[in-house]
């Protein structure tokens, strides 16, 4: 799935380069940090598993779908590398599902419903709610398909799955039901509320051209709000269970009585510094808050650096040559 995601990353860098400026870089960093924090609020799903909102459609609407591809990809990479959330083995698939399928589908639906209506219109708000709901459901269905076909493609000679143990008849309903019933509505509510706030208070951010003139003071207020939100992330600990398909080796052994050999051979490839958002010597709540602050800072800083690099490349590319005209 890294191979499937790579072309989208390449195109995203090229497309974002033509649109990103020094003034919009803080927005990219802060919305990415918001996505990271949002994913830490786990919610219970049917069957004893958990899920979370993503916020990818919101980023696609405010900054463009290609910016969302980069933003959510960086967030997922930090989750895997720093906190062992998702893992490196599934990072390519997670990026394809949540950083490509979700924002692209959400943005397309938003544009179809919102059309050319005013950014402050109810039609735009309705488009955001429907798009964010269907975007995360589309990502869940693709995930179910990817998990469900693995027993068919990767198995031992006797048919024992090497990776995901459940076929399509189990994987697709498991992913679809939880996201149709719970995760989808949560994604729609969160995205709708943030968009409604932007419509009423900062509509300039919803105008791609006008947002280039937004004031820097706004970002400091938003950064402070994210810090406050980070202290609320322990609420995500209330949802017991693991996201469907993201089981660790020990969990699979308890469920199946064995660990699929493909997963077992790769389970020790990388050890995250802060596994499961915990900090050695700290309790669950304190560790979760520290992880939220650390992760948010890393994501924001990396996206700020990436944005500055892209916008600088764009500025150099557009700079006219001083030796192109000979005066006589």
Asked if residue 132 is part of any domain, the answer here is: yes
Residue 53 pLDDT greater than 80, yes or no: yes
Per-chain mean pLDDT for the chain = 85
**Does 212 fall in a domain?**
yes
Helix axes 102-114, 122-153, angle to 10 degrees: 150
Average pLDDT for residues 259-278, to the nearest whole number?
Answer: 77
Q: In sequence order, what are the beta bridge partners of 7?
A: none
Residue bearing the bigger pLDDT, 5 or 271: 5
pLDDT given for residue 72 in this prediction: 96
Domain range enclosing 141: 2-316
79 domain-assigned = yes
Asked if residue 326 is part of any domain, the answer here is no
Residue 68 counted as domain residue: yes
* Residue range 201-217: mean pLDDT, rounded: 63
Domain count, the chain: 1
Mean pLDDT of the region 299-324: 69
Q: Is residue 14 part of a domain?
A: yes
pLDDT of residue 211: 47
Residue 18 buriedness (CB in 10 A; 0-12 / 13-18 / 19+) = exposed
Which DSSP category does 256 fall into? H
The pLDDT assigned to 89 comes to 79
Q: Is the pLDDT of residue 328 over 50?
A: no
Whole-angstrom distance, CA of residue 139 vs CA of residue 288: 26
CATH number, domain at 272?
1.10.1760.20
pLDDT at 158: 80
Cβ pair 127, 110 in contact under 8 A: yes
Lowest mean pLDDT across 112-116, 147-151, 263-267, 318-322: 318-322
- Give the per-residue pLDDT at 323: 44
Does residue 98 lie within any of the structural domains? yes
Which of 18, 132, 8, 22 is CA-nearest to residue 70? 8
Q: Is residue 131 within 8 Å of residue 109, measured between CB atoms?
A: yes
* pLDDT in the model for residue 133: 98
Which of the four pLDDT bands, split at 50, 70 and 90, describes residue 322?
very low
What confidence score (pLDDT) does residue 327 get?
Answer: 38
Lowest-confidence range among 16-20, 135-139, 210-214, 230-234? 210-214
The answer to whether residue 323 sits within a structural domain is no
């Amino acid at each position: 799935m890294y191979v499937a995601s790579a072309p989208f990353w390449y195109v995203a860098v090229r497309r974002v380069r033509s649109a990103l400026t020094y003034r919009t870089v803080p927005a990219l960093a802060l919305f990415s940090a918001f996505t990271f924090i949002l994913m830490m609020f786990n919610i219970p799903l049917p069957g004893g598993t958990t899920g979370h909102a993503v916020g990818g459609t919101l980023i696609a609407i405010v900054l463009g779908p290609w910016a969302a591809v980069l933003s959510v990809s960086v967030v997922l990479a930090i989750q895997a590398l720093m906190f062992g959330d998702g893992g490196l083995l599934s990072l390519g698939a997670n990026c394809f599902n949540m950083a490509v399928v979700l924002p692209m589908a959400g943005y397309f639906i938003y544009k179809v419903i919102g059309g050319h209506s005013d950014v402050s219109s109810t039609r735009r708000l309705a488009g955001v709610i429907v798009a964010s709901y269907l975007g995360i459901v589309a990502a869940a269905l693709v995930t179910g398909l990817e998990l469900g076909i693995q027993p068919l493609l990767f198995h031992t000679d006797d048919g024992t799955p090497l990776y995901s143990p459940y076929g399509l008849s189990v994987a697709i309903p498991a992913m679809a039901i939880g996201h149709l019933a719970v995760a989808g509505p949560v994604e729609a509510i969160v995205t709708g509320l943030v968009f409604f706030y932007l419509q009423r208070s900062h509509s300039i951010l919803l105008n791609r051209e006008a947002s280039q003139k937004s004031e820097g003071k706004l970002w400091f207020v938003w950064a402070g709000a994210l810090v406050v939100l980070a202290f609320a992330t322990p609420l995500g600990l209330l949802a017991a269970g693991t996201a469907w398909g993201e089981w660790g080796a020990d969990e699979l052994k308890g469920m199946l009585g064995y660990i699929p050999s493909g997963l077992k051979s790769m389970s020790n490839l990388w050890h995250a510094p802060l596994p499961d958002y915990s900090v050695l010597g700290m309790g669950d709540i304190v560790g979760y808050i520290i992880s939220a602050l650390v992760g948010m800072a890393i994501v924001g800083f990396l996206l700020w650096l990436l944005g500055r690099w892209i916008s600088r490349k764009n500025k150099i590319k557009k700079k006219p040559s001083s030796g192109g005209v000979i005066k006589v």
